[in-house]
Amino acid sequence: MEKLYDFFSGTKPTIVGGVFLAASLILMLIGIEMPADPAWVTVLICGYPLMYIAVISIIEEKGMSKITSPLLISIAILACIGLSFAPDSHENMFAAGEVAFIMAIGAILEDRTIDRAKKGISKLISLVPEQGRIIIDGEESMKSVEQIKPGDVLRVLPGEAVPVDGEIISGDTSIDQSIITGESLPIDKSVGDSVFCGTINRFGSIDINATKTGEDSSLQKLIRMVQDAEENKAPTQRIADKWAGWLVPIALLVAIATYLVTWSMGYGDSLIRGVTVLVVFCPCALALATPTSIMAAIGQAAKHGVIIKSGDALERMGKVDTIAFDKTGTLTHGNLVVSDVIPFDAEMSEDGLLSLAASVESRSEHPLGKAVSAYAKEHEIALMPIEDFKMTPGKGVSADIGGSTIMCGNAAWLGEHGAQPDEKMTEALTLLRRQGKAAILVSDGNKCVGVIALSDTLRDTAKGMVQELSLTNADTVLLTGDHKQTADYFAEQADIKSVFSELLPAQKVERIKAMQADGRNVCMIGDGVNDAPALKTANVGIAMGSMGSDIAIDAADIALMGDDISKIPYLKRLSNATIRLIRFNISLSMFINFAAIILSVLALLNPITGALVHNAGSILVILNAALLYERKYV
């Protein structure tokens, strides 16, 4: 039975059924009778999947869940088939085929809208390191991560992934932990600092003491959160099925009552009246109200570079009242650029300071150094020859230029070498930090000569987008792993009032759950691997499509393919309009159904005209959806 269900389901079988239904209609209109009506083929192809679902629900479901809309439709089809055996009643066979065909079309539309993407877990799992370098009695040996236990000492070389959560016991470095926190910059680490599984050691060699291994590591917890959020998010049940528990018994009672009352009054067509009630009671338009509207909205969004993975996501977006943003790569471009060149020495020009720093940083592999070099090249700043280049992981770089030692790094490191910033310089550094900027101090010998600040840049459309969202009565929130000063600065620039900073993935999830517990419907927008659990936990997850990680895109319900966050207000308006249209179409379909029931009881409709009337309701629903596709919401 299941194989037959698979064989008869889908677009191609439905097209075949439609061809035979058209043949039945033509034969009926020109008055030619065949030994077997072609509509039998339509009923077999398009009706079998409905009847299969109805039977399976009766067998496997409990309570009122046994009663579904396919059950009501199957009863109506069988009643029409029964009437078709009466003399001069061949049109009833066409009515049976017509009802089955319309419902098959509805099923195809719905299947296309709820085919949800559930990929990405395998990609996330692939980020878990397979081996680690354990140090035993001074000897290195490679072990699988399953063999690593808390308390083991491991060495992590530059370019390697940290195999487990741990604490640095020897060495200085910079760690790219964007996979966990989403921070755009590598974080300088030294003895006593924590490191997370799956993060990348960018520079110096470090020894760590394993603290959390195996399933307890940060990355494994990240994976489990994505899996749990996926399992806990139940799909939206079809409205027709929700109401079927009432529609089916009501339809049967009305049909039986119609038959008994008209029979007792001596009407010879009492059976036809009862069957006509069943036909017009079929919730075809009701079943089409949601999928057709959603298909139109998904097509409308695709034209504007917004990919909506499921109709359920669009429905949920219409109910969203709180929109949470990640910072790096979402509100900002995610690329560091030089924002300030500030000389401290009156005799030092901006170009001169930039030339000193870029010359030393020209051999650096650190992202900050590369950004300074790129900026100098872009502005055609001449570089000077350097000698004796040195790099101290997590602190800075130095080189000799014309007999002087030029150092570029953080304040503490320069202070260790006698170049201590004075009060005025410290105030400048504090101001830069408040603005969310990274600072590279430059010293010539034991004198600080200036500072170069670098910053991520806010997207040009960010502030306008937030202001537009406020017009839709949606609150905006910033959830980021960045430091508080950086988060506050960019939130102020984007006009976001509610800010939560220094959040790990689990804390982002907790924050979203707390908002949901307060009765809010939350939409999360992010781009990194670290955002995947939050994207899954939120009522709706939106990923930055072109620059976002594959895992974030797979975890999200919606993707912005052009990374244009100005599309968020458009998406909100479109989803709101879709919800309104669905409600209108449901009301319209119910009105048509009840009006047709009255006409059927009064014998103003027969099974075939009744089928055509309820088909007209389906056409109106589809036309309304087509209008949604053509409207402008940008």
550 given a catalytic annotation: no
Q: What is the DSSP string of 332-343?
A: B-S--EEEEEEE
127: closest CA among 141, 112, 145, 143?
145
Cα–Cα dist 190/172, whole Å: 4
Q: How far apart are the first and last CA of the chain?
A: 48
Tokens of 210: 């394993």
Helix (H), strand (E) at residue 206: strand 206-212
CB within 8 Å of 56: residues ≥ 6 apart: none
Give me the torsion for CA of 131, 137, 140, 145, rounded to 10°: 0
Contact 324, 512 (CB under 8 A): yes
Q: What is the DSSP letter of 160?
A: P
Q: 153: buried, middle or exposed (CB in 10 Å: 19+, 13-18, 0-12)?
A: middle
- Between the alpha carbon of residue 564 and those of residues 461, 542, 629, the distances in Å are 8, 12, 21
Tokens of 489: 């600065």
CB within 8 Å of 288: residues ≥ 6 apart: 105, 106, 109, 585, 589, 618, 621, 622
Contact 522, 320 (CB under 8 A): yes
Q: CB-side exposure of 379: number of CA atoms within 13 Å?
A: 16
Q: State how far Cα 495 lies from the chain centre.
A: 24
Cα–Cα dist 95/93, whole Å: 5
Q: Which residues of 388-418 are buried (b: 16+ CB within 10 A; e: fewer)?
A: eeebebbbbbbbebeeebbbbbbbebbeeee
Secondary structure E strands in 301-360:
306-308, 322-325, 337-343
Residue 178 identity: S
Cα–Cα dist 166/181, whole Å: 16
Q: State how far Cα 549 lies from the chain centre.
A: 12
Radius of gyration of the CA atoms of the chain, in A:
34
- Annotated active-site residue in 172, 326, 444, 564: 326
Cα–Cα dist 196/213, whole Å: 10
Cα–Cα dist 531/556, whole Å: 9
The Cβ of residue 386 has, within 10 Å, a number of other Cβ atoms equal to 19
Cα–Cα dist 54/397, whole Å: 73
324: closest CA among 496, 544, 551, 558?
496
154: closest CA among 176, 129, 179?
129
Tokens of 396: 């800075």
Cα–Cα dist 316/579, whole Å: 9
Strand 475-479 to 322-325 pairing: parallel
Contact 177, 183 (CB under 8 A): yes
Tokens of 610: 């009744």
**Residues tagged active-site:** 326
